A and B are shown apart, each in its own frame.
Chain A
């Protein structure tokens, strides 16, 4: 169980309170962690939420990886702690080297905010508890740089190690292999471009994101090699 969730706030992050609300709504206890503090406190899981950490200046996530909290998050992840990066959080995780590849500008060179359908490809990770491969979810995307790229070797490795967590059913941004989310090898670090916290109420059009956050709350630490 990972009931206590730390939600990281960089200057420029903007989805931190939405994420806190969604976690609390689903029975967790979320607290905001300041990027300048290196003490994570007694949290069971980390979410790096969406937004524009440090204005996305230079390159998305390129400055955020140097914030003091990132070393602690890397250590937390090495010990199997669940870490979920959403949107800008995914970008930060790739810049920090916790996930492979990179997110470049959408192929249409426009920001895109819309509902998107994604499909579970792998469930052996912190967002896949209770899910089945092939499950379809409607979850909004909201990004300019969501076009996932990696080397052919990395792509092959991701496929062989069953680390592609989601694929888009109708690729909106040009991502290689229609990839919407990936994990590290043990499955305790996941990055995804769609925003599960925005899909937690039928009033807002979908609650397909709730199961992912519930999964995060249910997943304990995953043993790492």
Chain B
């Protein structure tokens, strides 16, 4: 093979620094050729190697007795009892979605599903936390509409229900939306498979779509650089892949059949960095090497260069490691499901990844497989808080045009327009679907379909406002919010996955945000005993050198131990008592980081309200218990928008008014002090409930009762349910299109 000393412009164009190039030179003991360089450039990209974040991620808690697979594999896996394991993973597809919203979002869903069935699990749920620029910006509306259609178009067709998520609109995401996708699947514990290639002589079979020129360099070109006006982002469009949900559906069913019949030793999805990643990861995890015959790759067009074949990110492909004697059966199943299958690799014992033109043909590249992963750079990038941090934190976020009733109407937004476009009921597990605090899914035995009488609670949460003000406490509050959301459907937390969406890691204040966020997440996950079992880091979320507000998003999963009826939900009856659980803030509580401050007041800084993590853990445990025991009529977490928004949502959903005493100013109504939950219960149960809460160390306060057709909140708000309902429900259809004739 020809080894020409490299011209520096080549490795730089591929996104490798001079220092990284020198490392590769040292590892190989020679100059790499073009193909080898291309392979290192994708594997050492920020997206694949986590080179800027790894040093911080190590501080996250990742272990618990129920954790079967922690971070670093395709998905985290936990043991939920009865011989059932749950695989869960979250990913971002931010930059592809900014350029090509429909396909960016669609392939985000496809990619995350493959991560789940790679572990041997059938994906049974998707959640999609989405963040867009403001609704009055036409481009942001175009992106939002396209992304939501993409999730709907792909997710519904591939046959996995989208059971929850978030939708947020804010100036900070103008130009750089955040499209995160979480997927979850269940599997019998004994079927757990890992992406490993072992057994010299075993075969690597490429399954699924043909390899084309789409998505070449996606991880290095798109995911690992920001956007600006000078670079023509439209030119990056060929780096976005095109999804085919029908291909994915057949691939999924075929792979699950291969796993059911025990035909695969290891299996790996092809995502970022394509065949390079899949072959080197399986080989290095298995302590093996692999010979890869690129002439055997079924390709979409003639004349593709080796580096194109090796780095293409064409969708809907999997790599299965099989024993030679199983090959015929593997091919038979592939044929039945009408998916292509080619033997492209052989497992070897020498640890080398060799790319060949024909198994006996020319060697096009040869490198130690593990160097693509284990030797990837790890940076301890400079970090520093913003220079004006002290000044920012001294600001008062409670100033602004206060008109409590008008403010409340402005802050209400019903996301039903979004989730009614998603199939959220397939598989008959959805006890509580999207639009609620948490999602609750029946847990059934993946082998027999039999009900276990238990259920999985899930929620995805992020809050860029809190995290902008204080990334550490803000992130801890985000984790607590997620835990409280699943407590509201009766689930106790077991594990967390995270998607860390940040700006440019070369900016020291961004690295500081990331580091602080990791510490805040660590503290909260430790307090809730919910280790981080997997995650994804998305950096370079910036437009014109302006970084997005730090947006760590968490997905939480927990168990409801005994499900006999639907949880209470947020619907109240007439003549019920409204009770507030959790620590009440003082009268002069800070409004910093609140939805009110950002949307109405206009001050985005300040100091977050005090947050008592230990108290919040106690409150969440109590809430989960009262939901499990059906002790209350209704329950609702107090989240963004504060108490006023939470009460209005309950009133709207019920079509019943409320009379709430006290809470006479905008601080009391809209502050976002954490760890609070509203419950409704009958008069007769009130006294014993108040006593029990107090005994359990959970602050409790009766604040009003239900009835009538208006929401009367203290002395400043008196709004009819009709007014509240139209303010809440009309906004998205009016901005983004009607979608239905009946509303």
A residues touching B (Cβ–Cβ < 8 Å)? Answer: 11-12, 14-15, 17-18, 21-22, 36, 51-52, 54-57, 106-114, 140, 142, 144, 170-174, 195, 197-198, 200-205
Contacts and interface: CB of A to CB of B under 8 A. Distances in A.
Interface residues of chain B: helix, strand, loop or mixed (majority): loop
B156 A111 contact: yes
A12 B250 CA distance: 7
B416 to A, nearest CB: 8
Given A113-B424, A140-B425, A142-B423, A203 B249 contact: no
A171 to B, nearest CB: 6
B210 interface: no
B147 to A, nearest CB: 14
A23 to B, nearest CB: 12
Question: For chain B, which range describes its interface: under 10, 10 to 19, 20 to 34, or 35 or more residues?
Answer: 35 or more
A200 B739 contact: no
Interface of B: 152-153, 156-157, 159, 244-246, 249-250, 253, 336-338, 419-428, 430-431, 442, 449, 563, 565-566, 737-742
Contact of A11 (B156, B249, B421): B249
Contacts of B740: 106, 108, 110, 112, 172-173
Contact of B246 (A18, A57, A107, A142): A57
A136 B431 CA distance: 22
Contacts of B739: 108-110, 112
A171 B159 contact: no
Nearest to A113: B423
A52 B737 contact: no
B348 to A, nearest CB: 36
B741 A174 contact: yes
A51 B246 contact: no
Given A17-B427, A113-B422, A140-B425, 8 more contacts: A11-B253, A11-B338, A12-B250, A21-B428, A36-B336, A55-B246, A108-B741, A110-B737
Given A12-B249, A109-B739, A111-B152, A202 B566 contact: yes
Contacts of B431: 203-204
B160 to A, nearest CB: 8
Nearest to B247: A55
B449 A204 contact: no
Nearest to B450: A21
Nearest to B419: A113
Contacts of B153: 111
13 contacts: A11-B337, A12-B246, A18-B426, A52-B156, A52-B159, A52-B245, A107-B741, A109-B737, A113-B422, A114-B420, A198-B425, A201-B428, A203-B431
B428 A200 contact: yes
Contacts of B337: 11
A114 B563 CA distance: 23
Nearest to B440: A203
Nearest to B742: A170
Q: Quick one: which of B156, B250, B424 has the most chain A CB within 10 A?
A: B156
A173 B250 CA distance: 29
Contact of A205 (B421, B423, B449, B566): B566
B741 A171 contact: yes
A52 B157 contact: yes
A37 B738 CA distance: 43
A111 B421 contact: yes
Contacts of A51: 159
A200 B338 CA distance: 33
B442 A203 contact: yes
B420 A112 contact: yes
A203 B566 contact: yes
A109 B423 CA distance: 15
Contacts of A11: 246, 249-250, 253, 337-338
Contacts of A36: 336
A36 B337 CA distance: 11
Q: Quick one: which of A110, A112, A114, A202 has the most chain B CB within 10 A?
A: A110
Contacts of B338: 11
Contacts of B741: 107-108, 171-174
